[in-house]
């Protein structure tokens, strides 16, 4: 496990915003898991707010491009899952506050 690389990936994910909600995908709770090996292989498991998101390809491309550009990343795998399904309780308190839910 490479916690330093995982932290860099998480920081980068915080710069990517859901196209429909003005909150980054990490604080929104869309990222379920970030794992990085000592060899630099990164695996991200995430979900979407809606399986029918019209901008999903753009968002996934941005995740891919930004993650691959991080120094130390040698390989990258992105897994999109819908179990468990996303709901607003997965958002951080920061995200809830930004959206007026707190």
Q: What is the DSSP string of 5-38?
A: HHHHHHHHHTT-B-SSSSSBTTTTT-EEEEEE-T
Confidence of residue 34 (pLDDT cuts 50, 70, 90): very high
Which architecture does CATH list for 3-88? 2-Layer Sandwich (3.30)
| pLDDT number for residue 51 | 81
pLDDT tens digits for range 36-58? 999 999 999 999 988 887 888 99
What residue ranges do the domains of the chain occupy?
3-88
The pLDDT of 5-27, averaged and rounded, is 94
Residue 11 contacts by C-beta under 8 Å, 6 or more apart in sequence?
none
The pLDDT of 69-93, averaged and rounded, is 95
Using a 10 angstrom Cβ sphere, with 0-12 exposed, 13-18 middle and 19 or more buried, the burial of residue 26 is buried
| pLDDT number for residue 66 | 97
């Amino acid at each position: 496990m490479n916690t330093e690389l995982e932290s860099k990936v998480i920081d980068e994910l915080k710069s990517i915003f859901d196209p429909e909600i003005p909150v980054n995908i990490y604080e929104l709770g869309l990222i379920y898991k970030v794992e990085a090996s000592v060899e630099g292989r990164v695996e991200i498991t995430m979900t979407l707010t809606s399986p029918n998101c019209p901008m999903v390809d753009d968002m996934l491309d941005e995740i891919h491009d930004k993650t691959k550009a991080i120094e130390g990343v040698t390989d990258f795998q992105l897994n999109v899952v819908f179990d468990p399904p996303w709901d607003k309780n997965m958002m951080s308190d920061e995200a809830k506050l930004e959206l007026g839910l707190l």
